[in-house]
Chain A
């Protein structure tokens, strides 16, 4: 166990971080930025924002924040990218981000995890909706909790 120095071990981990960054984070964030760009050019972002404004207001968020949650279902990194892009555009504030951040992870990457987690473990597919439901409820509750702290 002590054949490697702290520095060697750290470098092994940092390399893993590099691979995660190159293979997962950059492609997902890039995709998120392109989606936001398309939504903005076409005016769909504003439309979605207005549509979801009443629902998102419950959590103290503007309607456009729904994009962060939708993209979270596909990828956590992508959702972070969307949140950052919306912050840069002045649509989200620090308070909004604080409310959203646990929800991004609680309902994050669900589509991938159906296979990667539930499939690997061997959960019967008829329980998938229940698992998804719990995750989404968790995310909703977390936003209400964070609203008190933010």
Chain B
């Protein structure tokens, strides 16, 4: 878990301006606010960047997966068709991370974590990482606990936050993208609901550890 420790200590340093710029750009691209924009602005929309497969024969109905398929073969072609959006999403997130966007998000988050979730600001980087990868978040949480940065209660609250909708951003943008075309709301609406419910769930746990098992877990 050396990599996790390294990331945690790195997060204590300052964030370059580019971090805030890429974070803002990523928020615009993934929010879908420019989904109906025209001209060059539409280049800042995830769905537009994903584009679409060409159609075969009966345009408007059948893409390369054809029509009327079933079983493993249909599932394979459907899943294969998901790869471009997964690759695009992961590529964009990698760029955001490289230019300090995640550190910027962590800097913005840190001061509000105590009132919002009852956990210290130091967990910011682990929290942001957990949105990308469940395993990275879990590893960093373990390191924070082992280093004494968070106590038993905070560990429980933080784990409850991560456990529901783990790897939120990556999972939603990768597999979820298969369903975006059918949504009757912008693709960012369900994502907002995911965050609200994650915070809600963590606070249920917060209430539980603070009220019901004071003695057992210690302060």
Contacts and interface: CB of A to CB of B under 8 A. Distances in A.
A135 B208 contact: no
B91 A13 contact: yes
Nearest to A146: B193
B83 interface: yes
Nearest to B75: A33
B178 A84 contact: yes
Contacts of A6: 95, 98
B82 A76 contact: no
A134 B78 contact: no
A14 to B, nearest CB: 4
Contacts of A87: 182
Nearest to B158: A121
Interface string A25-65: 11011111110010000000000000000000000000000
Contacts of A29: 75-76, 78-79, 82, 175
A102 B94 contact: no
Nearest to A75: B175
A37 to B, nearest CB: 4
Interface in A93-150: 93-95, 97-98, 101-102, 104-110, 113, 116-118, 120-123, 127, 130-131, 134-135, 137-139, 141-142, 145-146, 149-150
Contacts of B162: 117
B172 interface: yes
Contacts of B184: 94-95, 98, 149-150
B35 interface: no
A contact patch SS: helix
B79 A134 contact: no
Interface in B103-143: 134-135, 137-139, 141-142
A97 B182 contact: yes
For the side of the interface on A, what is the size category? 35 or more
A20 B86 contact: yes
Contact of A101 (B141, B166, B168, B179): B179
Contact of B94 (A13, A95, A131, A150): A13
B190 to A, nearest CB: 5
B120 to A, nearest CB: 16
Contacts of B74: 33, 85, 88
A106 B165 contact: yes
Interface stretch (B37-45, B52-60, B194-202): B194-202
B194 A105 contact: yes
B205 interface: yes
A87 to B, nearest CB: 6
A145 B193 contact: yes
A149 B91 CA distance: 31
A117 B171 contact: no
B190 A120 contact: no
B218 interface: no
A30 to B, nearest CB: 4
Nearest to A123: B159
Nearest to A19: B90
B135 A121 contact: no
8 contacts: A13-B87, A16-B94, A25-B79, A25-B86, A33-B70, A37-B72, A120-B142, A122-B142
Given A29-B175, A139-B197, 18 more contacts: A6-B98, A12-B91, A18-B87, A29-B82, A30-B75, A77-B174, A81-B75, A95-B184, A98-B184, A105-B171, A120-B138, A130-B208, A134-B160, A134-B163, A134-B201, A138-B201, A141-B200, A146-B185
